[in-house]
Amino acid sequence: MSELQTRKDQAIAAIDAADNLDALEALRVEALGKQGWISLLLKTLGQMSPEERQNQAPAIQAARGEVADAIAARKAALENAELERRLASETLDLSLPAPQAPRGSVHPVSQVMDELAEIFADLGFSVATGPEIEDDWHNFTALNMAETHPARAMHDTFYFPDRDAEKRQMLLRTHTSPVQIRSMVAQGAPIRIIAPGRVYRSDSDATHTPMFHQIEGLVIDRDIHLGHLKWTLETFLKAFFERDDIVLRLRPSYFPFTEPSVEVDVGWQAVNGRRVLGGDGDAPGHGWMELLGSGMVNRRVLEFAGLDPDEWQGFAFGVGVDRLAMLKYGMDDLRAFFDGDARWLAHYGFSAFDQPSISAGVGARA
Ligand code: DAH
């Protein structure tokens, strides 16, 4: 037994004296590695008689614990010393001039999300987020899409093959609408939020990618009506497109989570053969473009989220962020957004120094 004691003391003394991480690692292997002496001693336990084992095992285990602790402590001390050394020796000259040609740019999707957050902050909205890996209840059921609801089929959902520990069917969220549910459940009413984020659908062509971005809006309060919805969307779109002549058309539609539901079109006019937003959509040479879905939050959705629909009402809307970016900044192929091509980013990206702000105008000055 004292032989074990001596060896252990020697090992710990060597560990405490190790002056670099490589030396420490060598000592670890020597004691605790596959062929290390402590590991080999542990292996001998199997051949001992039960009494012998009962006697030896605790001592060997204790020695292993002490050596492992000594190694961990020495490792932390060496790493700490290395950090201190670097902090003392490395310096950063903040007075150096900025690089001649700044590298990197803000992706149009991030730019547009920043612009939206700024516009809606000015209207008293805060930004909410939710998980991209969502469960079936938040993504569908609580939004008034029961398991057999036909609207589910339209979402081309990516499902996970296995259920989670609580037996929930997990999926990649197909829209940002589940954040409505999460916000109502978490904070109750009143609510004024926008929820930007990634969403996923099994779909791919020039205007569809399996991952894209949406922004959801939700307002819950007393006595909210469709007029509030229309004013909010008009104010937001005028600020976003930086034009006062933005005209909206609300068309009756259907979404399971809103009642009534409206699809919102925005008027455009042809200028030099290009469609420019603004102007009267009904006049000759003008037209309407479908932009977003919205409506008054369905009573059933309020109930699912634990709110009393006789006390609280609200409106919601959902719009594609990538689509907003394409309309404002003139890209025509959505797939290029996610190619990571540095030339595309250099052309369409924005300066990180050019933060959108209401006072300076949310549009980027490229
Ligand atoms: N979640 C819908 C979609 O992805 C968009 C939408 C429509 C969101 C109406 C809403 C809404 O909040 O009220 O197609």
> How does pLDDT run across 167-216, given as a tens digit for each residue?
999 999 999 999 999 999 999 999 999 999 999 999 888 788 999 999 99
What pLDDT was estimated at residue 74?
96
Is the peptide bond preceding residue 260 cis, with omega within 30 degrees of 0? yes
DSSP symbol at 24: H
Dist CA 329 CA 40 (whole Å): 68
What is the DSSP code string of 167-219?
A: -PEEEE-SSSTHHHHHHHHHH-SSEEEEEEEEEE-S--BTTB-SEEEEEEEEE
What ligand 1 atom has the least distance to the C-alpha of 315? 13
Query: Is 102 inside a domain boundary?
Result: no
The domain containing residue 78 runs over which residues? Answer: 2-86
Dist CA 144 CA 124 (whole Å): 28
Q: How far is the CA of 214 from the centre of ligand 1 (A)?
A: 9
Q: Which residues line ligand 1 (CB under 6 A)?
A: 175, 177, 216, 255, 258, 293-295, 316-318
Same domain, 317 and 238: yes
Same domain, 226 and 153: yes
Examine the fold and report which residue of 26, 51, 86 is the final residue of a domain before the chain moves on: 86
What pLDDT was estimated at residue 365?
52
Which residue has a Cα nearest atom 3 of ligand 1? 175
Query: Is 308 inside a domain boundary?
Result: yes
Query: Is 366 inside a domain boundary?
Result: no
Question: What is the reported pTM?
Answer: 0.72
What pLDDT was estimated at residue 360?
67
What pLDDT was estimated at residue 366?
45
CATH of the domain at 160: 3.30.930.10
Which residue has a Cα nearest atom 2 of ligand 1? 318
Same domain, 17 and 78: yes
What ligand 1 atom has the least distance to the C-alpha of 175? 4
Query: Is 362 inside a domain boundary?
Result: no
Same domain, 181 and 215: yes
Same domain, 140 and 82: no
Same domain, 299 and 218: yes
What pLDDT was estimated at residue 299?
98
Low-confidence ranges of the chain (pLDDT < 70): 1, 102, 359-361, 363-366
Taking residue 4's Cβ as centre, other Cβ atoms within 10 Å add up to: 16
Residue 260: closest CA among 239, 229, 288:
229
Same domain, 141 and 29: no
Number of folded domains in the chain? 2
Residue 65: closest CA among 38, 37, 92, 36:
38
